[in-house]
Amino acid sequence: MPALTPTNVTALPRAQAPEGAISRPVFTVADAPTFLEGEGFQVRRAFAGIDLSHADPFLLLDHMGAVEYAPGEAKGAPDHPHRGFETVTYMIDGKIRHRDSHGGAA
């Protein structure tokens, strides 16, 4: 899927609910604790410690924050499975180069 670049990132159009979608109330509002992930990069995990049945359709929602790495300095993660769910990465500004353990890159 190609990247999308909205004209104004602060005024994105509201997504329409699919036909037959069931509305659910907000379960809880909580701060996202900070964790070190992979080889030591910091993330804030929005759904840390909650029963994943309450997190559907998300499994994880991690925020990496504003970081600046020099070329070759970025920290990665060891091999880990992504079976049964899709990973979505978005950036507000900057560049990212991603490679997976199967040789895929973006």
Residue with tokens 């759904």: 47
Alpha carbon separation from 41 to 30, 37, 88 (Å, rounded): 22, 5, 18
Q: What is the CA radius of gyration of the chain?
A: 16
With 0.75 as the threshold, say if the pTM is over it: no
Q: How many C-beta atoms lie closer than 10 Å to residue 41's C-beta?
A: 17
Highest mean pLDDT, choosing among 9-13, 35-39, 64-68, 97-101: 35-39
For 9-53, the pLDDT digits (tens) are: 777 777 788 899 888 888 788 888 998 888 888 888 887 877 777
